[in-house]
Structure 1
Amino acid sequence: MGSSSPVWTDVDLGRDGITHGYLRVPFSTNDSGYGWIPVPISVIKNGAGPSVLLMAGNHGDEYEGQVLLMKLLRSLSADKVQGRLIILPGVNAPAVAAGHRVSPIDGGNMNRLFPGDADGTPTQVIAHYIDRVLLPEVQYCFDFHSGGYSSEYIPAAHLVPPNDPALRARAIGFLRAFAMPVSIVIEGLSGGGKRLLGSCARLGVGHMSTELGGAGMFSVDALRAAERGLPRLLRHVGVLKADAAAEPAPKTQFYRRQPVRDFLYATAAGLFEAYVRLGDVVAPGDPAGAIHFTETPWRAPEIVAFKSGGTVLNRRAPARTKIGDCLFVLGTASGDRDEDLLQPPVREL
């Protein structure tokens, strides 16, 4: 794996003021032998203070975070900042342009390719640049996701908290400051080392993410909540100056997400008729929905039942489904006391 990034830019990360430009990712094709992929980047810097990396478009079909960061970078003047904001509103640029979860040019799912590879595919090269160049420059990284085309989340912020008690308390503080209606705690995520959060953990960078709707649509409610929460979060970490007129953070409901292996998956191919909605509370054995068989419409549908109980945090969006597709993700409501939230994970999920 290479250590020196082939990506170059004319944006000076250390210059005071506001700078807009592109990361240039080399990509040679039939119609552009010496071409490069433009990844938009903005830097807002004002003197000393913390450095924060803000990212969206890690998956190109997740739209709310992209709009959130575009509106933020257009609204901020440098005098409101103390320190530095590095903003990548469409980081996996080919996927963003196509409106796809993964890059159409190399099939790369950026959030499964960290720490990247300087000698790899374009998506790996972008991940490598983030890991080797940008993350060492910052103390915090906030990455804005949604459910994408295939699923819809109840609007939420989420994170995988570190095991260290002090770092865990700091991470929970991000959720309290951002204060979406729902905050999701994911314990011991399997495969997390290949995600952005794994690079952040390895480099000691504070990390938080979101799930702002999804289903290939645009959630106005999720965006509005995030627009209120992002300035609070940035003031919380000290990169935005204090605002005496700012409203305090509302209360957020915490959930612990169930393990990946306990998600409810489709058991047959067909059309899925859901019986429950986001936010519904279900019990073990409750019917989740029915899979109908279009090629044998006289056949009785296959009923899919929940194996565990909890609150519905995520649902599959397309009705057409097949074996192995995730239909629902549940969470268990947690108290908001520090002693409830600061317990380390019991097992890997």
Structure 2
Amino acid sequence: MTKSKVWTDIDLDREGRSTGYLRVPHSVNDSGYGWIPVPIAVLKNGDGPSVLLMAGNHGDEYEGQVLLMKLVQNLSLQNIRGRLIILPGVNAPAVAAGTRISPIDNGNLNRLFPGEPDGTPTQMIAHYIDSVLLPQVRYCFDFHSGGYSSEYLPAAHLVAPDNPDLRKEAIGFLKAFGMPNSILIQGLIGGGTRLLGSCQRLGVGHMSTELGGAGAFSIQAYRAAEQGLQRLLHHVGVLAYGQEDSPPATRFFLRQSTQDFVYAEATGVFEAYVGLGETMEAGTQAGVVHFTETPWRDPHPVFFRHGGVVLCKRSPARVKIGDCLFVTGTAVEAI
């Protein structure tokens, strides 16, 4: 594999606490030999598992960024058994802009794996993660939220592996993390271009989250994730202590496929009839799209094609044809 052009002064194998930047080459008019700084922290204390923690994969998802920044600030090195590699704002240009994708190259980091060593800045970040960081770790946990365009029930999120042993391990992540809800995805289209695809290819245990969204910061989701992260890191053996109480129970949902999401089929203002967490039957009306340029027209009705619990809803009321309005899932009793 071609060597990454991203570099860092941080020694990933050094004992102790190291902080600095990944340096992503970026030559532009006002900085011919410049680089984009991607903050990184490495906390290493003796033998134990190596774990990669990431947030800011999408720049408008905030709970995970705060979660990992506070972890870097407050976690005592003596409580670590092994190594934590932490990227609190991995798609740094998107994080700085507060946008889902990078304003530099329109790169959606979580759709560009395994990346390109000679590609755009976002492709180079993906390639560095795939070729340098992931081969060094046993686990990778990536913290997402719904972003500006959508809002989720606070949940841990998992593309369930097919291998029974790996599936059991991954379900263990969800149970240890203990969010109020846990979402399982099967048969994900395009999974190979996401971080989870690289993790699966390289044998790295993976879990992500959906901690709210709508471009806001959910204190309830954050508090649950803050406690859950301690349990999760203790569960995989990299943290010497964890929450003394058992993890709270989590409700499991199997997310329906992307083809079965509810989409806008008209352009205008969407009036939603339902909210997060509500249970819908197939054929239930989800809302209507109003035509602002021809307000005398009857609005366009929108229906749920399949029954289930509303796991995610669109945040902006203004919609166009093709926008996702609702994501639903089916409750799963036995895991």
TM-score, length of structure 1 as denominator length: 0.95
State the alpha-carbon separation in 1 of the partners of residues 167 and 96 from structure 2: 36
Q: For residue 269 of structure 1, what is the aligned residue in structure 2?
A: 267
| Other structure's SS at 2:233 match | helix
| Other structure's SS at 1:131 match | helix
> Deviations along 1:38-64, whole A, 9 cap, x unmatched?
000000000000000000000001011
Q: For residue 175 of structure 2, what is the aligned residue in structure 1?
A: 176
State the alpha-carbon separation in 2 of the partners of residues 317 and 203 from structure 1: 35
Query: What one-letter code is carried by the residue in structure 1 that aligns with 2:255?
Result: R
State the alpha-carbon separation in 1 of the partners of residues 245 and 206 from structure 2: 24
Q: In the TM superposition, what are the counterparts of 1:126-205 in structure 2 within 5 Å?
A: 126-205=125-204
How far apart are 1:303 and its partner, in Å?
Answer: 1.1
Q: For residue 32 of structure 2, what is the aligned residue in structure 1?
A: 33
How far apart are 1:242 and its partner, in Å?
Answer: 3.1
| Other structure's SS at 2:206 match | strand
The reply on whether 1:305 has 2:303 as its aligned counterpart is yes
Q: In the TM superposition, what are the counterparts of 1:12-161 in structure 2 within 5 Å?
A: 12-161=11-160
State the alpha-carbon separation in 1 of the partners of residues 160 and 295 from structure 2: 47
Moved over 4 A (4+): none
Q: In the TM superposition, what are the counterparts of 1:219-258 in structure 2 within 5 Å?
A: 219-243=218-242, 246-258=244-256
> Deviations along 1:261-291, whole A, 9 cap, x unmatched?
0000001000000000100000011110110
Unaligned runs of 5+ in 1: 342-349
Q: For residue 205 of structure 2, what is the aligned residue in structure 1?
A: 206
Q: For residue 314 of structure 2, what is the aligned residue in structure 1?
A: 316
How far apart are 1:298 and its partner, in Å?
Answer: 1.1
Q: How many residues end up aligned between the 2 structures?
A: 335
State the alpha-carbon separation in 2 of the partners of residues 281 and 104 from structure 1: 38
Q: Residue 294 of structure 1: which of 284, 292, 298 is its match?
A: 292
> Deviations along 1:99-132, whole A, 9 cap, x unmatched?
0100000000000000000000000000000000
How far apart are 1:161 and its partner, in Å?
Answer: 1.3
State the alpha-carbon separation in 2 of the partners of residues 20 and 248 from structure 1: 33
State the alpha-carbon separation in 2 of the partners of residues 121 and 247 from structure 1: 46
| Other structure's SS at 1:34 match | strand
State the alpha-carbon separation in 2 of the partners of residues 285 and 261 from structure 1: 16
Q: For residue 347 of structure 1, what is the aligned residue in structure 2?
A: none
Q: For residue 278 of structure 2, what is the aligned residue in structure 1?
A: 280
State the alpha-carbon separation in 1 of the partners of residues 283 and 330 from structure 2: 16
Query: What one-letter code is carried by the residue in structure 1 that aligns with 2:146?
Result: G
State the alpha-carbon separation in 2 of the partners of residues 101 and 255 from structure 1: 25
How far apart are 1:77 and its partner, in Å?
Answer: 1.3
Query: What one-letter code is carried by the residue in structure 2 that aligns with 1:42?
Result: A
Query: What one-letter code is carried by the residue in structure 2 that aligns with 1:272?
Result: F
> Deviations along 1:213-247, whole A, 9 cap, x unmatched?
0011111111010001000000000000034x622
State the alpha-carbon separation in 2 of the partners of residues 188 and 73 from structure 1: 35
Query: What one-letter code is carried by the residue in structure 1 that aligns with 2:313?
Result: R
Q: For residue 328 of structure 2, what is the aligned residue in structure 1?
A: 330
Root-mean-square deviation (CA), in Å? Answer: 0.8
TM-score, length of structure 2 as denominator length: 0.99
Query: What one-letter code is carried by the residue in structure 2 that aligns with 1:254?
Result: F
State the alpha-carbon separation in 2 of the partners of residues 172 and 61 from structure 1: 27
Query: What one-letter code is carried by the residue in structure 1 that aligns with 2:270?
Result: F
Query: What one-letter code is carried by the residue in structure 2 that aligns with 1:18?
Result: R
Query: What one-letter code is carried by the residue in structure 2 that aligns with 1:78?
Result: L
State the alpha-carbon separation in 2 of the partners of residues 30 and 55 from structure 1: 31
Query: What one-letter code is carried by the residue in structure 2 that aligns with 1:174?
Result: F
State the alpha-carbon separation in 2 of the partners of residues 216 and 162 from structure 1: 30
| Other structure's SS at 1:159 match | strand
How far apart are 1:209 and its partner, in Å?
Answer: 0.2
| Other structure's SS at 1:24 match | strand
The reply on whether 1:9 has 2:8 as its aligned counterpart is yes
State the alpha-carbon separation in 2 of the partners of residues 258 and 188 from structure 1: 10
Unaligned runs of 5+ in 2: none
